[in-house]
Structure 1
Amino acid sequence: MPGSTTDSGPPTLSSGDPPRVCPACGGPLAPWRSAPSGEPSLPGDVHLRRCVLCGTAVSAGPPPTFAAAHDAGSYATRRPRGSGAARPILAAFDRQRLRLVARHHPARGRLLDVGAGRGRFVAAARAAGWDAAGIEPSARGVEAAEASYGVTLERAMIDDASVASGSLDAVTLWHVLEHLEDPAPALRTIGGWLRPGGVLVVGVPNLGSWQARLGGGRWFHLDVPRHRVHLTPDGLRRLAEASGLEVVAIHQLLLEHNPFGMWQSLVNRLTGTTSHLFHVLKRAERPRPGALAVTLLALPLIPVAAAVEAVAGLLGRGGTMALVARRPADG
């Protein structure tokens, strides 16, 4: 992510004023809606502005510091409740992501996971035969990767990572782009890291999804103020192409994030809360008996939500999307 990781103070997501034009396509932004914060440690409403051309939205106002947004609250260094039982599910998520990469780059080579978190996907990619590494700007992620998976990550933002030009066969940027105030420079930098023909897989929430419409200001994946750019498929495609990448596909039938996101968004609307169960599991919020009771009563609706989300994904309205792009052979 753009910013600094020096010890002189916590890095910020970006600097300067919020964009006056759409960061995806350059179109004009118009006032849209307000949404409650998706992070208990950063309370308050956030105003959003939306592009009149591609439908992408931006979170207005100054971004939170990196430390406040990514080293506190639900992102703090804690073991989530139920994390042991979730391991098989997380492994299935990693396998699907690896299949996305392999579908468009069958030969195993050098892979970099950008925003690698606690290093789980880097470990999975190595086990699948990739020469995999990762960069991660947070100290808690780097420490957890070493402790949990024996993976050494480089602590760096995108613009200060020590990656040689044209040195990578694949890059995964999984739910990182939405955290950036201006994602275009990041994509241009990453495109330069790829060898000609190398692939980039970008996962982001889909503002054009059924989830987003049903959840409204309490959509699970809106997650303001931490998320700064809220992309549509059209906006994501335009952004990638403007960054010099050749778009290969956009996948929306995804196991990771989508079924749970649909269910949690519906529960948020029913309860008038913002992802209460998620934050309880992440130990970012204490259980509130009323909200938790309604949430637990809604658990039987998970298969229904998963089925609806599957249909949404097939129709190009999935809750999150994964764009696959390639560095042109003559790039």
Structure 2
Amino acid sequence: MSPTTSLHRKVAALRPAYQADLAEGLDRFFLPRRTTCSWCASPRLSEHIRTTDLVQHKPGVFVIDRCDDCGHSFQNPQLSPEGLEFYYRDCYDGLGEEATSKIFNGNGSTTSYRGRAASVARFAKPQRWLDVGTGHGHFCVEAKKVLPDTVFDGLDVSDGVEIAQREGRIDTSHRGFFPDLADTMPGQYDAVSMFHYLEHTIDPRAELAAAHEALAPGGHLVIDVPDPESRMGDVLGRWWICWFQPQHLNFITRRNIRRALEELGFTVVAVERRSPHIPADLVAALALWIGEKVPRGNAPWFAKTPSASRLRLRETLFRLAIPAFLVAYGIDRLIAPFARRTSLSNAYRIVARRN
């Protein structure tokens, strides 16, 4: 059986469940719209981004509001538990698992993973490290090369964390929500990491409090998140990959997260913008734009399978766009040294020590 035939069969098997979900309407996928900031409770909100799902092309319109007082940006209205389940389904697992695994285990990612581990190794050599939102544990494999004496555990809500343990990428797996599990591991860890995790969470403050609970005194918390103050977000608008709707729920400024950490009893020891920057803004924006313009592929949230001619046209248009992708990729790499030193950097890293 060819990979294409196998994919079509998987999609056909999933289509009835998706269509049944969609038949009930989209309203239940959203909570009531907030009239105050989810970070500081200010009523001074402005619509910042309005977009559709540019990655999977599932139905729905998503809005990111920005607080005019504290600068926090957040999805509003936010996805409900039913919405989170619907929009995450087949994104990182299922139909999307193979593509996601290739991205997270690529050569560029492995270098980045080692840099993340080194950012903590500057300050300590932790004996036990918990990677929150670990997925399939690829970070822990590379981090082990930087810190060979450290034991790495992982936490995630998906079965990826259990796969990571079975395949030896982590020592112990914790499956569930961090705030629910933190009181079962008080002071067990010398390091806790949250790499591109907080932006996915409903209540980032609760996640930070959970990290404080799980860390031993003197332990370190390291966080990477998209920088909502990056100029690339303004330049590219809804095509900026870091908005990543509807999965990204909260976008925290450096000032806000620093204050929240200090209030919990952390001391911030480092804030970095250079190494966390991922030089892919333009190539990702081009991919999102082309993906929006070409005929849709085959997916179970579409009512029917596209014709063979439409699928061939889609493939042909993507092939014709390869030179444009190469140019965008080259520009991303060319401007990366400048972007890392300026407000064009698309992410930041913060390292904090539990007092």
Report what 2:188 is aligned to: 167
The structure 2 residue matched to 1:100, chosen from 89, 114, 119, is: 119
Q: Structure 2, unaligned stretches of length 5 or more?
A: 1-28, 303-310
Counterparts in 2 of 1:49 and 1:167: CA distance versus 1, 3 Å:
same
Structure 1 window deviating more from structure 2 (160-169 vs 76-85): it is 76-85
Partner residue, 2:338: 311
- Give the unaligned 5+ runs of structure 1: 1-13
Mapping for residues 129-144 of structure 1, pairs under 5 Å: 129-139=149-159, 141-144=160-163
Q: Do the aligned residues in 2 keep the contact of 1:215 with 1:268 (CA within 8 Å)?
A: no
AA aligned opposite 1:50: R
Which of 218, 224, 237 matches 1:197?
Answer: 218
Equivalent of 1:251, from 260, 272, 275? 272
Counterpart among 127, 131, 134 of residue 113 in structure 1: 131
* Contact 1:25-1:238 at 8 Å conserved across structures: no
Q: Report deviation, 1:273.
A: 4.3
Q: Deviations over 1:202-260 (max 9, x none)?
A: 111111113212220111111111110122323332333344322222211126x6102
2:45 equivalent to 1:30: yes
Q: What does the per-residue CA deviation read over 1:76-113, in whole Å, with 9 as the maximum and x for residues that have no partner?
A: 363229939964333212111111111232x2311100
Indicate yes or no: 2:131 matched with 1:123: no
| RMSD (Å), alpha carbons | 3.3
Among 97, 105, 111, which residue is 1:78 paired with? 97
Q: Which has the larger radius of gyration?
A: 2
Whether 2:245 is the aligned partner of 1:224: answer yes
Are 2:189 and 2:214, in contact at CA under 8 Å, matched by a contact in 1? yes
1:153 aligns to what?
173
Q: Which amino acid aligns with 1:63?
A: L
Residue type of the alignment partner of 2:270: A
- Distance change (3 Å), C-alpha of 1:91 and 1:268: closer
- Give distance in 2, aligned partners of 1:53 and 1:45: 25
Report the counterpart of residue 176 of structure 1 in structure 2: 197
Q: Residue in 1 aligned with 2:76?
A: 60
Q: How far is the alpha carbon of 1:197 from its aligned partner?
A: 1.8
Q: Does 2:62 align with 1:42? A: no
Distance change >3 Å, CA 124–CA 81, structure 1 → 2: closer
Deviations 1:142-175 (A, max 9, x none): 3431454453522121122264222211100111
Q: Take 1:187 and 1:57, find their aligned partners in 2: how far apart are those partners?
A: 18
Given residue 225 of structure 1, which amino acid in structure 2 is its aligned partner? P
Q: TM-score, normalised by structure 2?
A: 0.74
The CA distance in 2 between the partners of 1:240 and 1:219, in whole Å, is 28
CA distance in 1, matches of 2:260, 2:251: 12
Asked if structure 1 preserves the Cα contact closer than 8 Å seen for 2:189 and 2:219, the reply is yes
Match of 1:235 among 243, 251, 256: 256
